[in-house]
Each structure stands twice: as structure tokens, then as C-alpha cells.
Amino acid sequence: MHRSFEVTVLGTSSAAPTKTRYPSSQLVRLEGDYFLIDCGEGSQHQLVRLGLRMQRIKYILISHLHGDHFYGLPGLVSSMALFGRAEKLTIIGPAALKGLLDTIIQMTESRIPFEIEYITTNPEKAETVLANRKWSISTVPLKHRIPCTGFVLKEQGPELRLNAKVCESMGVPLEWYEPLKWGDDWQKEDGSIIPNAMLTLPGNPNRSYAYISDTIYDESIISHIQGCNLLYHEATFLHNLQERASETHHTTSKQAGQIAAQAKVGKLMIGHFSSRYQQTDDLLLEAQEEFTDTLLALEGLTVSV
């Protein structure tokens, strides 16, 4: 049985908000854990509006220090404090973020009654920043005007599933179920060994979600996102503004489709639309010409990975 792994879009706008679009933010839910990726101004408001419980967020991932990706963070942290959070919050992002948030907390004389742990991203190097038995978070170096990383969230888990019929008929005790899924042989009480292969079947492959924040068109990211089930890639402009995209270190919708095609991902979701586009249909069509299985990010949309 697949575990839950889904992305809810909170904001799809680049730079400035529009009447209907918020700046960048997404909530990822992976087997009970909540991750917020980027936190543009108004992200806490979107969480409230969509009925998503902010206190369940354990990890906040910030791609870079442009305002449309983190100006919602001080307000979110304040509200978490106001509503009595006690649980630790882990913030993964650029090195300067800690100092900036500390300064704001101090100047506003805010009392934050919970621990904030910071994990610093390295914009020069892809690396796994956090991992446990259930999932891992890795960074992808991106080429933007300031240091910036993307993120890959990947399920971790047993590569095997139980062959339920055989286990039951042989009377495997319940406490052996988990070790078997991880590849152990069954050692019976009498000391005899039943090989793992008799008791298990190949498991479901681990799914992954890649979040590619602000970047110029850059094929060097492909190796890091190869074959992911869902790729979010920024698509700030239509391709007729390719020069403007390049100057500002952004990607066109066509280019986002090209990256998805080369990386052979399952699905592509595009977002971070320039406020000049009131309608986003053309952005979708342009990406779909390069990669059919493309969808538009939209405030409130939940996509299953």
C-alpha cells in the first residue's frame, strides 16, 4: 500500500502578488510529516484559509533569500508562538537566514517558546541535509542571482514487502514483520534460519518530489532530478521573453518542459509566474509542447506525488 505523499500549492506568483496569486510556498505531506517549502508573504494566511494546521509543520525549507520566498517566515513563526507551540521547528536554508530571523525576533521583542534548529544549505553542492528511515531531503544547487538551492524529498523505506500468505502460513511472529521488510532473514526461536527471499516480495519503489526554485535554464540539475515522480519547476516567463528570463536568471515555460523531458520525470508542475500574466493558459501550452504531462500550479491545488 502506498503511503501518503502530496503537495499542496500555497502560492504561485513570482516577485509581487497578483489579485489571485500569492508568492511562493508549498506544503508537502509525507506519511504524517509536514514540510513547508518556501514561505512567501501571506503563507500563514494561506495555511489558515486552506485549513492546514501550521503547528504540524516540523520542517521549513527555504530556497533563497529573495523576499517572495521567505517574507512570510517571521509572521508564521510568530503565530506558531502565539498559539503555544512547544515542539521544535527545523529550518533548512541559506546561512544568513538565522541571523536575520534572530534580529527580527529580538527587535519585535517576540517570545518564541520553542526551539528553532537551523540546518544550513550549501548552494555550491548537492547533498543530503536530513534523512531518516521514512524520507530524505537533498539539495540541488541552482543558478540564480543570489545563492539558491532546490530540494528533493524522497521517500525512504523498506525495499521489500511481506508475502503475507507465506508469513501467515509459516507463523512468522509480528515483531519480525518490520525487519523482514528491511531485508533481514527470519531467525526462529529454535535457532533455524528462514531466508528473507522466501517471505518477501519486491516493494514499491520510493517516490520523490523535486522542487526547483528560481533558476536560469540549467541542464546540470538534470542528474539530481532524474526520474523523480513529480517535478516542480519555475516557469516565470513565456519563451518570447527568453532574454529577460536569462537576464534575471529565470526559466521560460518552454525550457521548464525541456528540463522535464530530459530528466524523464513522471509529471511536471510549473509555477512562479510573472505578475504580467493574468491568464496562465499559454504558459501551460508552451510547456506541454515539450512535455505532455504538465500541470499548472494553482493556489489550493493538491497534487499526489
CB closer to a second copy out of 68 and 286: 68
**With binding defined as CB under 8 A, does residue 109 bind a second copy?**
yes
Residue in the structure block whose three cell numbers are 521549513 = 60
The 3-state DSSP class for residue 33 equals strand
Q: How many residues bind a second copy (CB under 8 A)?
A: 35
Least distance from a second copy to the Cβ atom of residue 64, Å: 9
Q: Which residues pair with 270 in a beta bridge?
A: 233, 296
Q: Pattern 138-167, binding to a second copy, x per CB under 8 A?
A: -------xx---------------------
Residue 165 neighbours by CB under 8 Å, 6+ apart = none
- Grid coordinates representing 224 are 539530481
**With binding defined as CB under 8 A, does residue 108 bind a second copy?**
yes
Least distance from a second copy to the Cβ atom of residue 244, Å: 13
* Kind of pairing between the strands at 135-142 and 128-131: antiparallel
* Kind of pairing between the strands at 267-271 and 186-187: unpaired
Question: Is 293 among the catalytic positions?
Answer: no
Site for a second copy in 232-251 (CB under 8 A): none
**With binding defined as CB under 8 A, does residue 8 bind a second copy?**
no
> Residue 294 to residues 6, 241, 297: CA-CA distances in angstroms?
16, 20, 10
State which of residues 29, 66, 154, 207 lies at the interface with a second copy (CB under 8 A).
66
DSSP string computed for 79-104: HHHHTT--S-EEEEE-THHHHHHHHH
Stretch of 74-82, 159-167, 238-246, 263-271 lying at the interface with a second copy (CB under 8 A): 74-82
Contacts with a second copy, residue ranges (CB under 8 A): 15-19, 22-23, 41-42, 44-45, 48-49, 65-68, 71-72, 74-75, 78-79, 82-83, 96, 100, 103-104, 107-110, 145-146
